[in-house]
Amino acid sequence: MQTIVLATQKGGSGKSTLAIGLALAAIQAGHTVRLIETDSQGTLSNWQSRRPYAEPIVEPVYAAGDVEQRLQSLDRDGVTLTIIDTAGGVSAATTSAIRYADLCLIPARPSIADIEATASTLSVARAWNTPFAYILNQTPIRGQRLAYAANALGDDMEGIVAMPFIVMRNDHQDALSAGLAVNEYAPGGKSAEEINALWQWVDARLGNAPALSATDEPFIVEFVESPAVLPDMAALDPENDSAVFLREPARN
């Protein structure tokens, strides 16, 4: 069994919606998936209560000492992938989840405050030698701020940035309200395409699939000039097809 943890200091980074989307993409790829929730806010548990389907099962595990034991039990039960959703901040439960994970995904919105807030999570991942990658989440379709954020995470933070970036669109929250993943709610939409491509990137990072070639790498948005102040994301048109796309070489 392999384990992914989504963790970051700052709340509101979209850990839960990413966990749900990745879980459904993994199920569609043939995995037996369990979601573990260490956040007492209960976003995943509430989502499951609205969900019309039994899978994936959400298990609340709040005590740090129970994380390793539960992972071992799931492994014996034949679960092939566990995704752990954590609370904002660095708690004992989050630290334990990072310690026993095969990959720590650190979501961050493209703002300096969010990027700076990843430092404590990064320190924990490094302390336990847990492989990690950043996810730029809730991004505008394009803009200079997005380029700055990617550069800061990829260079200044000496980290790996997952591809593609996940654009802020209403269907993520609409899917959450309906008890669905975005790749179920709007399977032909752009958000589903991004989440499915992100899963392919993560799966390759876990060593389960060949690294994507330069011609297969998920699209990333070309960075164009934008005003110094990032526009209100709610006012952005998520269906704007005028963005120009570039391919980036595969990362090893």
Closest CA to 91 of 63, 127, 68: 63
Q: Whole-angstrom Cα distance, residue 47 to residue 4?
A: 19
Q: Whole-angstrom Cα distance, residue 130 to residue 137?
A: 21
H helix runs in the chain, sequence order: 15-28, 43-50, 64-76, 92-99, 112-116, 119-127, 144-151, 170-177, 182-185, 190-205
CATH of the domain at 76: 3.40.50.300
- pLDDT tops 80 at residue 216: no
pLDDT in the model for residue 221? 33
Confidence band of 205 (pLDDT split at 50, 70, 90): very high
- Whether 224 maps to a domain, the answer reads yes
- Whether 179 maps to a domain, the answer reads yes
Cis peptide before 164 (omega within 30 of 0): yes
pLDDT in the model for residue 103? 98
- pLDDT tops 50 at residue 250: no
Q: What's the structural domain count of the chain?
A: 1
Q: What percent of the chain has pLDDT over 70?
A: 76
- Whether 181 maps to a domain, the answer reads yes
148-177 pLDDT, tens per residue? 566 666 554 556 889 899 999 999 999 999
- Whether 251 maps to a domain, the answer reads no
Residue 135, helix vs strand vs coil = strand
- Whether 252 maps to a domain, the answer reads no
- Whether 172 maps to a domain, the answer reads yes
Whole-model pTM: value is 0.80
**Which whole number is the average pLDDT over 176-190?**
96
pLDDT in the model for residue 209? 72
User: Range of 44's domain?
Assistant: 2-246
Q: Whole-angstrom Cα distance, residue 136 to residue 163?
A: 8
- pLDDT tops 60 at residue 98: yes
pLDDT in the model for residue 111? 84
- Whether 43 maps to a domain, the answer reads yes
- pLDDT tops 70 at residue 147: no
- Whether 111 maps to a domain, the answer reads yes
